Chain A
Amino acid sequence: MAEITLKGLAHAYTKTPTGAADYAIRHMDHVWHQGGAYALLGPSGCGKSTLLNIISGLLEPSDGDVLFDGHRVNELPPEERNIAQVFQFPVIYDTMTVFDNLAFPLRNMNTPEYRVKPKVLEVADILELTPLLWRKAKNLTADEKQKVSMGRGLVRDDVTAILFDEPLTVIDPQLKWKLRRKLKEIHERFNITMIYVTHDQLEASTFADKIAVMYEGQVVQFGTPRELFERPAHTFVGYFIGSPGMNFMAVEYRAEQVMFGAQPLPVTEQLKRDVAGATSTNIKLGIRPEFITISTSSMADSVPIQIVSVQDLGTYSLLTFKLNEQTFKARLPEGHPPVSEQAYAHFEHAKVALYIDEYLVEIGHE
């Protein structure tokens, strides 16, 4: 029904953009498949809301095309696209009852009343709004209001995609998971494409099958939550996903060694060759806190470190240490023997990732 394709998309809020900094969205190609549950994840100001508004038609992109099933819809206003959008702050029509709120989009399309009623009742039932149908929408709680604004998207038969712009911001924490489960349920039931904008990685990974991570106006990685964790395609993804994020070391190739400042790093021969062969000087190695082993005595392929602190977080402990004057984090499993101030760290070879110019390079490709 609706596959949403972004082709060479770029958007600047100024009329005559002078540099890359003026673009909220930089050159972007992307496809959202019909029926998928997607999340658009990124820090505030990375352009995710802009992208959402371009898809819904509230904004016209300054460059590139938005295609719905291969048809260019750049100039189509939102009212003529088959999409619905749920905003950060619940938008409801204060003076109407919940029933009239839900019926509003249908009545705007001149749907006969005998078809409005069953549809509204059905959607109200799914969203558990039935007991509230005759209440004034003004007096609802925040989560009920948000359900009403979601419901206005669901009543329309022609809606093939619903866009969510951080919809749980104003919802009480204990109700968030309930609403998120409701969303998931609706997705499975209606075969609707859902794109969910958030800056919360937990929210993104519990809701979405696939997550697009945005950074400075670009999608830097599009993958399953597992892929984002295991193979971050960009240093930003490594840093942003996981708690805590990935550790990075800026390295160079000196005296036939991979050097992190004054500290030679024990790495595989292949990685050494790749670092030596790199043309750029922006070379970084990344390692997740989960894949660092700490021991009190020196062992093979380990480097000496200084422990700064250990924090017990229940199921695991978070260790902060210093190497070459830079702070690192490591996750110690429960029951790990206590560590002294002087210790040694071992980076699991297979989990060390190489980034050149901030992007992931497959080790041993060349």
Chain B
Amino acid sequence: MSYQLENSQRGEKYNTIFSKVTPAQRRNRNARSRWRARLLLGLYLVLMILPIYWLINMSLQTNSEILGSMTLWPQNLTFDNYIGIFTNPSWYMGYVNSMLYVAMNMLITICVALPAAYAFSRYTFIGDKHLFFWLLTNLMAPPAVFLLPYFQLYYSVGLFDTHIAVALAHCLFNIPLAIWILEGFMSSVPKEIDETAYIDGYSFPKFFIKIFIPMIRSGIGVTLFFLFMFSWVELLLARTLTATSAQPIGMIMTRTSTASGIDWGTLAAAGVLTIIPGILVVYFVRNHIAKGFALGRT
């Protein structure tokens, strides 16, 4: 090398302020606090999983074992409860019904929410603020308030006991939620993108589908996650608007309780099966979820 190394001169005593702490002590302290955090998190996770584990545990036992003695894990592992559900159409149709109306709701909601959220994030128009506020108030409406009017409304238009009825009813809270989340994501996309695309000769629909939607992919993913979540877990409206042909799984589960007692094993197995779609959905959006929960507003 061409440049000369300069001699390192031994300077005066290095004046540390906190020299009482040696590096080893500090490393210990950091390690300790890290382990404490992990321990606490582990404890929380275990406590959180415990009720779910208990459900799984019971679903793999026969009723006589459940009622007979306290066992922390199945002694005689059995899949009869699950087999019973999968071979009985009146049981598994409950899942099909639930998934059908959830899928319909997600499709309808995202289709109308995307353009509306775009309008709110890009334009001002007469009454926009009031409209947005009114939308949000729908999130605050207790479903119990709408039980009776919904029943009468859907009965009178002949939609009672159909999947579409539940899907439309869930739009009450899902559309405002979707617009709220999507608007946050869309506002974080610079407006210049739109303008450049229009200058490049894109029409609005072409720009929206080809350029804009791919840009807010993760926002859409997270929105779909929330839509699934709130439609899948809701039972009050779904139960009220259906009787037999579109009955959700949550309602069919009440059938396990009969005059001769409760069929605990089947109840537990059905419960476990309702958790699985959620796990799948969460797995697909796991990489967006951390960002998306802030709803584009941090």
Contacts and interface: CB of A to CB of B under 8 A. Distances in A.
A308 interface: no
B12 A69 contact: yes
Which range holds the interface residue count of chain B? 20 to 34
Contact of B23 (A30, A75, A79, A109): A75
A243 to B, nearest CB: 23
B2 A80 contact: no
Contacts of B17: 80, 109, 158
Contacts of B9: 3, 70
B11 to A, nearest CB: 3
Contacts of B15: 1, 82, 158
A71 interface: yes
B3 A233 contact: yes
A158 B13 CA distance: 14
Interface of B: prevailing SS? loop
Nearest to B10: A70
Contacts of B5: 29-31
Nearest to B5: A29
B283 interface: no
A346 interface: no
Contacts of A360: 2
A30 B7 CA distance: 9
Interface in B129-158: none
Contacts of A29: 5
Contact of A70 (B6, B8, B16, B21): B8
B2 A359 contact: yes
Contacts of B27: 75
Interface in B240-272: none
A233 B2 contact: yes
B40 to A, nearest CB: 24
A265 to B, nearest CB: 23
B125 interface: no
A223 B7 CA distance: 15
Contacts of A359: 1-2
A223 B14 CA distance: 27
Given A77-B26, A80-B16, A109-B17, A222 B11 contact: no
Nearest to B2: A233
Contacts of A33: 6
Contacts of B11: 1-3, 34, 68-70
Contacts of A221: 2-3
B18 interface: yes
A31 B14 contact: no
Contact of B6 (A31, A34, A75, A82): A31
A67 interface: yes
B34 to A, nearest CB: 14
A223 B1 contact: no
Nearest to B1: A359
Contacts of A233: 1-3
Contacts of A70: 8-11, 14
Given A80-B17, A221-B3, A67 B8 contact: yes
A187 interface: no
The 8 closest A-B pairs by CB, nearest first: A69-B11, A233-B2, A71-B14, A75-B23, A70-B10, A5-B8, A31-B6, A69-B14
13 contacts: A3-B11, A5-B8, A29-B5, A31-B5, A31-B6, A67-B8, A69-B11, A75-B26, A76-B16, A80-B19, A80-B21, A223-B3, A234-B2
Given A69-B10, A82-B15, A234-B2, 14 more contacts: A2-B11, A3-B8, A3-B11, A5-B8, A68-B14, A69-B11, A70-B8, A73-B14, A80-B18, A219-B3, A221-B3, A222-B3, A233-B1, A359-B2
